């Protein structure tokens, strides 16, 4: 969905709201939706969030208002945006599109409930006291990203068995980057491989990063699960193809854009759960008592057409495990 279409859709929904709702009379709760990316990139997940919210009894424009704040890949804007939401004040903050969003929200308030997607370990980082009883004002969905790194390394080995060096493209601004790197190194070492890490923080860094990976002998590539990389999926995929690197990604969107393979949690399902948790909090549930959930649904997507074009033989065992094969 293009940005103009998305914004037009929002405008149309707003115009249809009853006057009382648009006036935001007392009794109509307001949700602050804080996101590090852009509305066009996040449209499918916003829809999934609304679906979960509706299943919990709250429909945007009828009995709840959502205030959206999009950082457009400029994380330095997040602090000002969340400050606006706190001053509003909103009943709940939904922090998504990168771990920086929940960290900034947590720093801004200890009283407003925060529901978030969380890629890093929420307990180790001090975000929550425990997974079962968070204990503070933050809860949500742990996306299990770091735990999936080792699995992606294994899948890469199946696709590029002769690659002795695996490249790891990481965003150094991501709180999970160092842990993901260590996990990748340990998994590769167990398979007799080594990992070379190249950091990328901006789109302009990408070209040089891929040149560096190839010059260092990388025969396969793992892309860190990170909102920044998600936002430039088309460019990342094109560079991987140009340099003939067998690359694995965390989301289906990369494979749909011409990538080779992806493995990760079903993100839309996680956002529907965020909507459900938000509805529960609006009804009186305490974030401190709502367990941090972990995804139960994962998907393996293989682009067989791309594999053939790259001369990569995809093992039958892997194809049999795939949830979707693009031909």
For position 259, which CATH number holds?
3.40.50.2300
Same domain flag for 257 and 270: no
Say if residue 192 is in the same domain as residue 157: yes
Q: Within this chain, do residues 117 and 228 fall inside the same structural domain, yes or no?
A: no
**194 and 122 share a domain?**
no
CA distance 33 to 92: 8
Give the model's pLDDT for residue 6.
Answer: 46
Asked if 149 and 285 sit in the same domain, the reply is no
Residue ranges of E strands in the chain: 30-35, 65-70, 92-96, 114-118, 138-142, 165-170, 194-199, 220-223, 246-249, 261-265, 298-303, 324-326
d(CA 265, CA 251): 8
User: Is the same domain home to 304 and 184?
Assistant: yes
Per DSSP, the three-state class of 305 is: helix
Same domain membership, residue 211 and residue 117: no
* Torsions phi, psi for 142 (to 5 deg): -80, 120
User: Is residue 291 left, alpha or beta, with left meaning phi > 0 and alpha meaning psi from -120 to 50?
Assistant: beta
Nearest to 323 by CA among 296, 294, 298: 298
Distance CA 41, CA 242 (A): 24
Q: Residue ranges of the chain with pLDDT lower than 50?
A: 1-4, 6-24
Residues 203 and 320 both lie in one domain: yes
Please tell me whether residues 87 and 161 are part of one structural domain.
no
pLDDT for the residue numbered 173: 84
Range of the domain at 46: 3-144+266-289
Q: Do 307 and 281 sit in the same domain of this protein? A: no
With tokens 């602050």, the residue in question is: 32
- Predicted local distance difference test score (pLDDT) of residue 82: 97
φ, ψ of residue 71 in degrees (nearest 5): -85, -15
26, 93: one domain: yes
Residues 6+ apart with CB under 8 A from 298: 148, 263, 264, 265, 266
Q: What's phi and psi for 260, nearest 5 deg?
A: -80, -50
- Are residues 206 and 308 both part of a single domain? yes
The number of distinct structural domains making up the chain is: 2
In this prediction, residue 120 carries a pLDDT of: 79
């Amino acid at each position: 969905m293009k940005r103009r279409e998305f914004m037009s859709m929002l405008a149309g929904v707003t115009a249809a709201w009853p006057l009382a709702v648009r006036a935001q009379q007392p009794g109509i709760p307001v949700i602050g939706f804080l996101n590090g990316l852009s509305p066009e990139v996040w449209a499918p997940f916003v829809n999934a969030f609304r679906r979960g919210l509706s299943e919990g009894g709250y429909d945007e424009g009828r009995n709840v208002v959502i205030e959206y704040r999009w950082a457009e890949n400029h994380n330095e804007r997040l602090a000002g945006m969340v400050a606006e939401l706190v001053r509003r004040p909103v009943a709940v903050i939904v922090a998504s599109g990168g771990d920086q969003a929940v960290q900034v929200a947590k720093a801004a308030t200890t009283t407003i409930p925060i529901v978030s997607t969380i890629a890093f370990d929420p307990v180790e980082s001090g975000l929550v006291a425990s997974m079962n009883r968070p204990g503070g004002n933050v809860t949500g969905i742990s996306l299990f990203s770091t735990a999936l790194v080792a699995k992606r390394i294994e899948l890469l080995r199946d696709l590029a068995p002769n690659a002795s060096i695996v490249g790891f493209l990481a965003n150094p601004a991501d709180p999970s980057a160092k842990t993901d790197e260590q996990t990748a190194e340990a998994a590769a070492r167990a398979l007799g491989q080594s990992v070379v890490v190249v950091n990328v923080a901006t789109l302009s860094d990408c070209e040089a990063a891929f040149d560096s990976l190839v010059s260092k002998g990388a025969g396969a590539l793992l892309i860190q699960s990170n909102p920044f990389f998600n936002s430039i999926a088309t460019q990342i995929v094109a560079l991987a193809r140009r340099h003939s690197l067998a690359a694995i990604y965390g989301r289906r969107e990369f494979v749909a854009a011409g990538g080779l393979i992806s493995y990760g949690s079903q993100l839309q399902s996680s956002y529907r759960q965020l909507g459900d948790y938000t509805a529960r909090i609006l009804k009186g549930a305490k974030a401190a008592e709502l367990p941090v959930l972990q995804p139960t649904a994962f998907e393996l997507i293989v682009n067989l057409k791309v594999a053939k074009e790259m001369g990569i033989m995809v093992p039958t065992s892997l194809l049999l495990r795939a949830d979707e094969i693009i031909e």
